[in-house]
Structure 1
């Protein structure tokens, strides 16, 4: 041992001496140290059992005569203070040196091993001075009899210690200042006092975690829990990691108590953890688990339900193995089924398997609970990926939801086997953003989820509860990652497109010439957590199309989500609290050049977006003012993380075109308050000038308080938008409002054939800035979720809405129902009926009847069709006259020929404007970046909607037709 080691042990010894002064002693006590029992099974998630055994044995031996047991905290503290750097010293010798300096005469080191439902406990009682094993113990039994096994082991150890004390001639010894007790005279040193397996002071295997173990019960852990042990650890002893740091299988010292709103949810506190194992033999990603790396990789099999029965054991076995090297994280999955006919698996396009069974892994590399990456795979190796935001509640399944528009580059493979399916996954570290640690260890937030659709069952590795708001706050941790690649990600994505476009003109339909075009995209990893993107002449044509919406009788503008890849990545950084979207990149209609910087440095998340837009300067007449000019956008965002899911931020947007501008700037924040509450706010102001020189400016403010819990949830939201507030870079439906929204919801969880049900009540009141009441409504609804993926919701609403200076009082009702029980089809429908305003110059109250139906049919694993019917029907309530009846029918069909080749067809018909659309697309996709497309797009319209003077009937007339191709190839370095 080095001098530094001796010095630190000496300091720890002084602390131990002060903490352990015996009250009475016939002679020098015989002192025992108990090390945590090491897990030598294949399941590292059970490491907590070893800590519990050590706690129980230590506590009960402390109650016995003649034994002075060192406090576990003292031993752990001494070990944690070491600077061990000697590979020549064994882990056992290090522990012996530690306990020797602390004054221990003996050390009890043990291990436990599981095989099926059998459990074996082994232990050695080692003489510290001679370093010889004085006694050895072995206890076998069923895992369900863990308490009895602990008691048997304790009795054997206590008897052995008493025998040694008899040989040494020791008399009664006091422990920890307590009064001594006489031996009961039965020869084995047992006291007449019953064993204390749960005395409230941390003793006993389950007293530490609550009577349901570490995964549930009212006393589930909220503070730091036990560290996981690597398979190479000597049973019950300390070991050294690759960096020379001493590790102990027991719990680390508790973190300093937090004050204020952050108390009670320290990151990673009390959560499960796993150590990834480094490999020099990367697997072949083909879905078969026959690679050598999986034989020695860390294995996880312990999963619990979050749905339908929270905290219940999984009904199907799941095996997950983890390994890594400098460049990739590797996962192997084995999803077992007792009845394989219940498995759902389809060959669909990327991100489209959410009706299937699938497994996902989630990472929070910064361990800040602000953002997580999710990577998913189904039985055929189909990929899915998404970004999960920190504010997401536990209302939905932890493996679902999120922003699916994010696409990362990773590799998967899947295979269907006799009793289920297997899959492999390789995630490049270049596809993630993570803090730079140099040679140090990375510790990430980590979760594994499995979804079984037929059973409507969701499983998780790190147990979760609806009593705590948030998904990221309940993740476990992934450690052991060292020496990750420091090479910076560099990607080039050139694109080549060609389109031949025909249009309807005044003289008839005319075909155009083929128009080739080229684009270029570049991505550069400035650091491992900060990325710069650049795009030149990006092409967004024809590949993605906005889903049609009913536009008839809409008072406010419709919102269409962003679908273009350049703007999708990192878009969550630019989001702010409230219902107003301050950054809506759809306003950048025709960008010619753009650049973006997104990522995180320290506790600060940054986002900068710069782009131009050629759309405002596109006119048919070159004499138009602004012809050929472009608008310029600059958007900036910064967010400083305070603590778990809490931050303070700032945002700025600016759009300028010729002499006009539209600018917004302000601050926002979100604060987690305990385990169920959060508060957030947004305060911004705008400055706007149009092309005529007219200027406007005004503030906007939003504040919200929300509670999300298992039963009672509620929220209060206030939103104020000045009449003169404007933004050309965002999306604001309405100005001149001061609106208060409040809702309260209570949910019961029978968790049987009826999973959950409950009522919800909402109130909304809105006055303008002149104090005139504009809207007021009351709504009550009831919802229920049933087993086998069935849900139902009904609500009634009484509302006052002011329009064109008239107060309209309306009563409306709605029903929602969904069924996803069958493997081959799923059905959803919604019905809304009641009174509604006809939003015209001379408004009036009428009767509306809207319904929408969605039917998904999967006749084979490769063919997938979804039919959607949206309708809106309105009639005059006084005369009964039908005012309009609009229907939109949409059929979306895909056929997956191979894992890479698919065809997609979209057929649409809108009776409101007589339009018919056909969009056929062949895709050959190698990965998220490299793909080849061939497409055909045809737009037709009934003649009377085009020009009543030219066309006298409803015959379809072709408006536009296009043939197009696109090739993009990703180069990554």
Structure 2
């Protein structure tokens, strides 16, 4: 049991910021439908909210730009092409486009002119917005540009336009490219760690070209890919952003100062936009999958067996309908996520609490910001009231999201087949489904504040978990913000009965050019449960403080340095102190795209009888630790990231009958990215967790994870990805109840992605593990597993193939 210390929060975040999904109806379903009537009523009300409101507010003088940073965008008689800018200057019809320049640095030297000249040309026709970037560079040979997979552009030089069509200073659409025109699009939400949510994908066109003076990027953004106030002339908020990767320079038009929190709060204005091409926005995205597989079926742990199928077909349909140009109804029938990449490796050994793995499936990721709840969102045991990975295997999903005036809404309905699939075939729950319903409404207050409501419900065979409550945020000043949420849960569980719980969380955060301060409080009662969300720990009262201050010499080599300090303390509701962590570091940030920070700290955990059955009293464990976090990308071919810690640990996976013991822990997480040629990217990861019994100096376990991912991009559309990953848990049975587990996995994926929604995937996966070929102890003279056995038998010898799959998936996007 060891919780990694919280540190480097400000610096790691700032580095990442630069890098820039006709039978009778059963009575139970009728009951569920009745419970959803209020939600449906609210949905219909907001969906038919009068567009007159938005028409009145479109010309509201309060929405006009306050700093004069605006540009009138002309209608073009013909569409510009990248060839119209040969020689890094506009020719022909492109000369009619409006041009902005005079970019200003946000980092590293806030307020200073950009070190390299940037010109951006803008115009539109009936269907598209056109943006052309001329990015001059005095050292064009140092421009970082690689032919990579879509979205993986943030180690290169990057340009991006963020469009706030509603001018609410809260939500925007981000369209980014590297110098070769590779795309990355996402949702921008103020307060979302200053990074776009790149899970949102849409259809748009781009081209990029390196030149002897820098590079050119051409962007064509269809109006039907945006959400706006319908047709007619209107003004949109905008920021234009250029990143020069080799010296971590971040330039903006208009100026976006790092002394002020937020990007859209400082946006400029695109005037006189007339998006006539947004009407009739319907999208249909059918797909088909053909697969063959072999896996170990261990739903009955005493009787594991191999399950295989030579060929299995599956079809499904995703659809999208846009109402009033700003309300979107999405549906997914029989969705398939075969092409989704596996999770990034994490250490899950000797962990007392659930480890968080982020969502990767497009249907659940798209527009996820509409369901984000305010509250404690940095460090500590973060709470998510909607964590869609709980919906493991849906046969359908329905989602309604949108904005009407100051109202924002999100509704989600889905089923989940997994509870009826993970049980043995003879279990009464076989074939049963869980049902999820989520409703979320927020109302904007002023420029950057809001109040909201959320309700979630999971139903399964008479059991339920319902969570509801309020949340909000208030912008105190340009540097300070507060947020909170207060929710209650009501749970009926056939195994543990009825429970009621509460979760109250609040946060105060401030951010400026040199400092960041964060104060959080969480109060989560023992009975609180959210089966649609993620709560790492209950029965806690938790305080968390974080502060950093940077000295900024901004010299030839050193940009800034300074201390980062973190302190958190946790009590249970009986007043027992059960955890604390105090740590500090001094971070050094250099112009050659590198930083390092040595760390020191102390932490304590208290185990109670309810935490560990063999304990009869509270037992406190205190450990100190030292560590180093470092990052370097000195040249465009190499990126290195290191996290190394020497710390105390508590072994809670002890053999039966033993008590938890203290140990010494060595933890290493090392990543190395190589780009030997432009189309090839090699990501290598090594994770080591070694715990040694600190009195006897014998190893408790060594856990190794080695992963190498190779991606070769033949063109922007066609790529080949190969992943090899080895997991080796080497356990000492004298000091731990863990078993030695060795696993080797290979994954190959060919992708031809014309644009999001239209693609062909061909994939193969093979898994090998240290299992006995017979899987279990058999009854003598038979192939039946011994009912008194222990289930799967692990071997000390070679690995056997315990799973493989090959699949072909084809999808096509129709837009009308």
TM-score, with length taken from structure 1: 0.70
Q: Which residue of 1 aligns with 2:177?
A: 377
- Consecutive unaligned residues of structure 2, counting only runs of 5 or more, are 1-58, 298-302, 377-381, 609-617, 730-740, 778-792
Cα deviation code 1:608-631 (max 9, x no counterpart): 000001111125655422221211
Q: Distance in 1 between matches of 2:726 and 2:594?
A: 30
| 1:434 is aligned to 2:228 | yes
Q: Aligned partners of 2:84, 2:249: CA distance in 1, in Å? A: 23
Distance 2:674 2:308 in 1: 37
Separation in structure 1 between the aligned mates of residue 754 and residue 83 of structure 2, nearest angstrom:
15
Change (3 A) 1:952 1:569: closer
- In the TM superposition, residue 743 of structure 1 has moved relative to its aligned partner by 2.1
The partner residue of 1:414 within 208, 214, 220 is 208
- More displaced, 420-429 or 280-289? 280-289
Deviation string, structure 1 residues 461-489 (Cα, Å, up to 9, x no partner) = 11122221112211211111125334131
Q: Map Cα deviations across residues 387-419 of structure 1 (whole Å, 9 max, x no partner).
A: 2211256xx6xxxx2212111211111122222
Q: Write the distance in 2 (CA, Å) between the matches of 1:704 and 1:489.
A: 40
Give the distance between the partners of 2:640 and 2:774, measured in 1 at CA: 35
Q: Which residue of 2 aligns with 1:503?
A: 295
Pairing 1:361–2:153 present: no
User: Aligned equivalents of 2:705 and 2:797: distance in 1?
Assistant: 17
- Name which of 265, 268, 280 aligns with 1:488: 280
User: 1:492 touches 1:523 (CA, 8 Å); kept in 2?
Assistant: yes
2: CA distance between counterparts of 1:970 and 1:717? 44
CA distance in 2, matches of 1:337, 1:834: 46
1:630 lines up with 2:427 in the alignment: no
- Alpha-carbon spacing, 1:476–1:421, altered in 2? closer, same or farther (3 Å): same
1:643–1:838: structure 2 CA closer, same or farther, 3 Å change rule? same
Check conservation: 2:237, 2:270, Cα contact below 8 A. Answer: yes
Could you tell me which residue of structure 2 aligns to residue 321 of structure 1?
121
Residue 33 of structure 2 is matched in structure 1 by none
Task: Give the superposition deviation at 1:692.
Answer: 3.5
Structure 2 residue matching 1:312: 3-state secondary structure: coil
Distance between the aligned counterparts of 1:477 and 1:552, measured in 2? 51
Question: What corresponds to 2:357 in structure 1?
Answer: 560
Report if the CA contact (8 A) 1:836-1:847 is conserved.
yes
Write the distance in 1 (CA, Å) between the matches of 2:776 and 2:666: 29
* Alignment partners' CA distance in 2, 1:569 and 1:925: 18
Q: Does 1:755 align with 2:559?
A: yes
Query: In structure 1, the residue corresponding to 2:261 is in which secondary structure?
Result: coil
Look up the match of 1:145.
none
Within the alignment, does 1:711 sit opposite 2:554 as a pair?
A: no
Contact 1:762 1:778 in 2 (8 A): yes
Partner SS, residue 616 of structure 1: helix
* Match of residue 450 from structure 1: 242
Query: Quick check: 1:790 aligned with 2:597?
Result: no
The 3 A distance-change label for structure 1 pair 834 and 486 is closer
1:595 counterpart = 2:395: no
Superposed counterparts of 1:867-886, under 5 Å: 867-886=684-703
Q: Please state if 1:888 is matched with 2:717.
A: no
1:734 corresponds to: 537
Match of 1:234 in 2: none
- The answer to whether the 8 Å contact 1:509/1:958 transfers is no
Secondary structure, aligned partner of 1:821: strand
Contact residue 502 and residue 509 of structure 1 kept, 8 A:
yes
Are the aligned partners of 2:711 and 2:719 in contact in 1 as well (CA < 8 Å)?
yes
Aligned to 1:269: 66
Name the structure where strand makes up a greater proportion of residues: 2
- In 2, the alpha carbon distance for the partners of 1:520 and 1:454 equals 44
* Deviation, structure 1 residue 822: 0.6
Alpha-carbon distance, 1:701 to partner: 0.1
Q: Distance in 2 between matches of 1:855 and 1:732?
A: 32
Contact 1:617 1:628 in 2 (8 A): yes
TM-superposed CA distance for 1:925, in Å, is 0.7
* Residue of structure 1 equivalent to 2:105: 305
Alignment-derived partner of residue 576 in structure 1: 373
- Residue-by-residue CA offset, 1:606-655 (whole Å, 9 max, x unaligned): 00000001111125655422221211110000010002221000000000
Deviation, structure 1 residue 691: 2.7
Displacement, 1:508?
A: 8.1
Query: Residue 368 of structure 1: SS of its match in structure 2?
Result: coil
Partner of 2:340: 543
Match of 1:391 among 179, 185, 191: 191
CA gap of 1:255–1:750, structure 2 versus 1, over 3 A, is farther
Q: Are residues 1:721 and 2:524 paired?
A: yes
- The offset of 1:283, in angstroms, is 2.7
Cα distance in 1, alignment partners of residues 323 and 141 from structure 2: 49
Q: What is the DSSP-based 3-state SS (H/G/I as helix, E as strand, rest coil) of the residue aligned with 2:95? A: helix
Alpha-carbon contact 2:770-2:795 (below 8 Å) kept: no
Q: Mean alpha-carbon deviation: is it higher for 933-942 or for 286-295?
A: 286-295
Q: What secondary structure is seen at the aligned counterpart in 1 of 2:247?
A: coil
**Deviations 1:922-967 (Å, cap 9, x if unpaired)?**
0011001100000100011123799586664331110101110000
* Whole-angstrom CA distance in 1 between matches of 2:158 and 2:291: 38
Determine if the alignment matches structure 1 residue 678 to structure 2 residue 475: no
Which residue does the alignment assign to 1:908? 725
8 A contact 1:488–1:527 mirrored in 2? no
Q: Contact 1:350 / 1:382 at 8 angstroms: preserved in 2? A: yes
Q: How does 1:782-931 map to 2 (within 5 A)?
A: 782-804=586-608, 805-840=618-653, 842-912=659-729, 913-931=741-759
Q: Matched residues in 1 for 2:642 and 2:416: separation?
A: 40
- Whole-angstrom distance in 1 between the partners of 2:84 and 2:524: 54
3-state SS in 2 of match to 1:465:
coil
Tell me the residue number matched to 2:35: none
Q: Distance in 2 between matches of 1:883 and 1:684?
A: 41
Q: Secondary structure at the match of 2:535?
A: coil
* Aligned partners of 1:267 and 1:644 also within 8 Å: no
Tell me, yes or no, if the aligned pair for 2:599 and 2:627 is still in contact at 8 Å.
yes
Inter-partner Cα distance in structure 2 for 1:755 and 1:874: 38
Look up the match of 1:104: none
> 2 CA distance for matches of 1:602 and 1:268?
18
- Report the equivalent of 2:55: none
Distance (Å, rounded) in 1 between the aligned partners of 2:256 and 2:249: 14
Which deviates more from structure 2 when the two are superposed, residues 498-507 or residues 752-761?
498-507
Residue in 2 that maps onto 1:940: 768
Aligned residue number for residue 957 of structure 1:
800
**Structure-1 residue corresponding to 2:573:** 769
Shift of 1:801: 1.1
Q: Aligned partners of 1:375, 1:543: CA distance in 2, in Å?
A: 22
What is the distance in 1 between the residues matched to 2:422 and 2:578? Answer: 39
Residues 347 and 382, structure 1, Cα contact 8 Å, conserved in 2 = yes
Q: What CA distance in whole angstroms lies between the structure 2 residues aligned with 1:828 and 1:267?
A: 44
C-alpha separation in 2, matches of 1:586 and 1:945 = 33
Contact 1:286 1:424 in 2 (8 A): no
2:50 — aligned with what?
none
Change in Cα spacing, 1:660 to 1:286, as seen in structure 2 (3 Å) is: farther
Shift of 1:511: 4.8
CA contact (8 A) 1:914 1:945 kept: no
* CA distance in structure 2 between the partners assigned to 1:434 and 1:801 by the alignment: 51
Per-residue CA distance 1:169-224 (angstroms, 9 max, x = gap): xxxxxxxxxxxxxxxxxxxxxxxxxxxxxxxxxxxxxxxxxxxxxxxxxxxxxxxx
Q: Give the greater-gyration-radius structure (CA).
A: 1
CA distance in 2, matches of 1:422, 1:935: 35
One of 114, 129, 144 as aligned partner of 1:344 = 144
Secondary structure, in 3 states, of the residue corresponding to 1:954?
coil
1:615 counterpart = 2:418: yes
